[in-house]
């Protein structure tokens, strides 16, 4: 992250990565130094596709749902 900031990047974005939301929170809290991270946590997928938890049992879908990270 510091390398991105040193290279002049003030904002970066990510789509579909579970870990980037934690980087975003850490940067906002001042825990790490780096550019602002815009993380969506969701990827674009069709119903029943790779990132669609509708085929999972409800408790597992809730545990894995990106919205529970926010």
Along the 70 residues of the chain, how does pLDDT read in single tens digits? 889 889 999 999 887 677 778 888 888 899 999 899 888 776 666 666 666 666 677 777 777 665 544 4
Q: What is the CATH number of the domain that holds 24?
A: 3.30.110
Look at residue 11 in the predicted model and tell me its pLDDT. 93
**pTM higher than 0.75:** no
Which structural domain range is residue 38 located in?
A: 2-69
CA distances from 7 to 11, 13, 15, 24, 27 (A): 11, 16, 22, 18, 17
Name the domain count of the chain: 1
Look at residue 70 in the predicted model and tell me its pLDDT. 43
Look at residue 69 in the predicted model and tell me its pLDDT. 45
């Amino acid at each position: 992250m510091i390398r991105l900031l040193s290279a002049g990047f003030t904002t970066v974005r990510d789509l579909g990565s579970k870990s980037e939301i934690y980087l975003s929170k850490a940067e906002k809290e001042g825990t790490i130094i780096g550019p602002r991270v815009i993380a969506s946590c969701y990827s674009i997928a069709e119903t029943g596709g790779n990132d669609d938890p509708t085929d999972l049992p409800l408790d597992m879908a809730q545990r894995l749902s990106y919205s529970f990270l926010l």
